[in-house]
Amino acid sequence: MKTVEDRRVRRSKRAIRSAFIALVLERGFNAITIEDIINAADLSRATFYTHYRDKDGLLSDVVADLADERNRVLPAVEEAKPLGFSGLPVKYLFEHAGRERDAYRVILRGEGNGRALRELKEFLITQAEELFEERAARAGVTPRLPTNFVARAWAGEIIGILTWWVDEDAPYTDQELTEFLRELAINGRVWASGLDPQPNSL
């Protein structure tokens, strides 16, 4: 009996989440109501309130689900450590965004007062800072720039490329973007522009 109930709960939450994401992308978070969501999901108001307090709680649940899924693939970061700049953590992130493209669109557009986007940025910054510090320690080197600055620059770069890819359908695969970002991380913007490195170049 419990298995049947669990399946029913999962189906209801999946229907609510799908309806919510579609409506947010169509009209924007602030423009939709609980009534809109339950009508689109073909469920009762009571069913909605069984699972969620309000639409802010629903957005938080969507963000939490995505975070849980990302955390399950974080062993890729561990796998990448002995390989140096393998690009594996970025590849996993883009693969995840590709599977959950519409949910990422909602987040990257800053819906819900931008809280979900801030949470994604903080997640990326935290993971990057830890990884960069560990790489420097393992190599026995001193970073030339503050690690927290480098982590924030990297996270901003990833957010920008992710937004371009999922919201504007950039014409590249997740693998191609991973390789572009890996080359950029290793060789820098001057190299990427086809120029020879010069002192004080931007």
Q: Would you give per-residue pLDDT tens digits along the chain (202 residues)?
A: 556 557 888 889 999 999 999 999 999 999 999 999 999 999 999 999 999 999 999 998 888 888 888 777 655 555 555 555 667 778 888 888 888 999 999 999 999 888 889 988 888 898 889 888 888 898 899 999 999 999 999 999 999 999 999 988 788 998 899 899 888 888 888 888 888 766 555 5
Helices first, then strands: H and E counts in the chain = 10, 0
- The one-letter code for the residue type at 42 is D
* Domains of the chain and any CATH numbers: 1-52 (1.10.10.60), 55-188 (1.10.357.10)
The alpha-helical segments, DSSP class H, found in 52-173 are 55-72, 75-80, 88-99, 101-108, 115-139, 147-168
What's the rounded Cα separation, in Å, for the pair 164 and 125?
Answer: 19
| This model's pTM is above 0.95 | no
Long-range contacts of 14-17 (CB under 8 A, 24+ apart): 15/41, 15/42, 15/43, 16/41, 16/43, 16/47, 16/48, 16/51, 16/52, 16/58, 17/58, 17/61, 17/62, 17/65
Whole-number pLDDT of residue 102: 93
Cα angle value 27/30/9 (rounded, 5°): 85
